[in-house]
Amino acid sequence: MVLVTLTGSIVGVSYYRAKQQVNNVLIILLQNNGKINSQINTQNVRKRFGPTFNQESLYQYRYFSVSFNSKGKQVALDNSHIVSVPRETIASLGYQVFKSGQQSGTVQSEVSSYAYKTQKKNGRTTIVFLDQSVIMESTNNIMKIGLILGITSLILFTLILIAISKRVIRPIVLADKRQREFVTNAGHELKTPLSIIKANNELQEMITGQTEWTISNEQQVDRLTKLINNLISLARLEEQQRLNLSVIEASEILEHATNSFKSVVAQENKKLKINISPSLRINAEENSFLELCNVLLDNANKYCDDGGAVSVAWIPDKKLKKVTLMVGNTYAKGKNINYSKFFERFYRNDKSRNSAKKGFGIGLSMAASIVDAFNGKIGVSYQKETIFFRATFKLIR
């Protein structure tokens, strides 16, 4: 972007300045009856060309002029400042411009390209032509050099980046890999002492019976076990470069997941609204898609208002190119929440999501990773006191 901007700026500024120079010379010619001579207003010229103006430089330009009366008859022709264009060609070019009625522009002849400008004064139309090839030639050379240098630099820098990029980002890649491996290995190591603690707690209950402390120990062990399992699942999902995707019957899997949540939702006096279009298939992995459905359903049920409703929809678009899994739950206090952070790992908003709710802020991060692995898109929105999570996939016919 830097190279393109730099090269484009050089080319653009060079072209603009060349056109401005042509325009200024034509204006000066019209102000001096189509001629550049010793009678020219030096002060006026200096305003147009700037303080670096040199009067001698005005005589480098090649130009000619033609005048017509109100009836279109040629009344004057001046070719004293150009030798490469015959009078017949000058007359023809002048008549061509006069008939077109254009005030300014460019005409092409066999010899060169000429910029022109028209002036009407006292019933007489004067057209001055300027050979812009000399001005544009130097500009074109600058533009060509700029483009060549820009393309050469782009190729050179690209080759350098290709050569060193792997070496530069290798520490970051290794650190990320070691972090995921650490989570997986630590998770497996933690499972052993947790199993021992749980077994000892059960043995204590057999000897002394259940107490407030043994019940609390069991709950915390189960909580830690679930957290470790979630972390391991997320780490494994990220370690896999690519899932083995295949065409799956997504509608059937979603129906199975939804049916398993019916009793859970009913026990908490909530309503479950289902709208699943049958026989819709996507390119995914069965177990991971089932995990996605369970995560979204569990999240919706967990944070749904008491006596509220959980909704599940699986509907294709009108063109039958994409299908959207939409899971929502009523949440009256969810108006002023930053939903963009919901997919961040371990994110929990205590103001909007009660900390008494069980969870670790990992589920939605897992859902986002799964959807990304399926080449889909996931998002969240809040409408009419309801939170909606939408996962969109390409529909396979």
Cβ–Cβ < 8 Å for 202, 211 = no
Are 155 and 73 part of one and the same domain?
no
pLDDT at residue 275, rounded to an integer: 92
Confidence band of 43 (pLDDT split at 50, 70, 90) = low
391: exposed, middle or buried (Cβ count in 10 Å: 0-12, 13-18, 19+): buried
> Domain with 161 in it: what CATH number?
1.10.287.130
Q: Does the residue 101 lie in any domain?
A: yes
Q: Verify that 253 and 233 share a domain, yes or no.
A: no
| pLDDT tens-digit readout, 162-209 | 888 888 888 888 887 777 777 677 777 777 788 888 888 888 888 888
CATH number at residue 288: 3.30.565.10
| 260 shares its domain with 235 | no
79 shares its domain with 207: no
Residues 230, 255, single domain; the answer is no
Looking at the fold, whether 121 and 63 belong to one and the same domain comes out as: yes
Same domain, 24 and 121: yes
Residue 272 lies in a domain: yes
126: three-class secondary structure by DSSP = strand
Beta strand pairing call for 104-108 and 74-78: unpaired
- Domain at 32, CATH number: 3.30.450
**Would 136 be classed as within a structural domain?**
no
Tell me the C-alpha distance between 373 and 242, whole Å.
Answer: 7
Closest CA to 77 of 67, 62, 89, 86: 67
203: domain range? 141-239
Q: Quick check: is 36 in a domain?
A: yes
If asked whether residues 70 and 117 sit together in one domain, one would say yes
Q: What are phi and psi of 40, to 5 degrees?
A: -65, 145
Decide which of 239, 263, 296 is a domain's last residue.
Answer: 239
- Inter-residue long-range contacts of 274-278, CB under 8 Å, 24+ positions, other chains counted: 274/311, 274/312, 275/311, 275/312, 275/313, 275/314, 275/315, 276/251, 276/312, 276/313, 276/314, 277/251, 277/314, 277/315, 277/316, 277/323, 278/251
Q: How many residues are recorded in the chain?
A: 397
- Can you read off the two tokens belonging to residue 69? 């009366």
Residue 198 and residue 283 share a domain = no
Q: Over range 329-336, report the average pLDDT.
A: 82
Number of compact structural domains in the chain: 3
pTM of the complete model: 0.50
Same domain, 45 and 104: yes
Pick the last residue of a domain from 214, 239, 264. 239
Same structural domain for residues 261 and 207? no
CA distance 166 to 290: 36
Write down the residue that tokens 């309801």 correspond to: 386
Rounded CA gap, 76 and 124, in Å? Answer: 10
**Residue 355 confidence class, pLDDT cut points 50, 70, 90:** very low
Which pLDDT belongs to residue 54? 63
Residue 284 located in a structural domain:
yes
User: 264-301 pLDDT, tens per residue?
Assistant: 888 888 888 999 999 999 988 888 898 889 889 988 88
Rounded distance between C-alpha atoms, residue 304 and residue 302, angstroms: 6
Q: What is the per-residue pLDDT across 72-128, written as a single tens digit (0 to 9) for each?
A: 888 889 888 888 888 888 899 888 888 888 888 988 887 788 899 998 888 889 999
**DSSP, res 41:** -
Point out the domain boundary residue: 239, 268, 291: 239
Query: Alpha-carbon distance 288 to 369, whole Å?
Result: 10
Token pair of 397 as six digits: 């016919």
**Per-residue pLDDT band at 129 (split at 50, 70, 90):** very high
Is there a single domain that holds both residue 256 and residue 180?
Answer: no
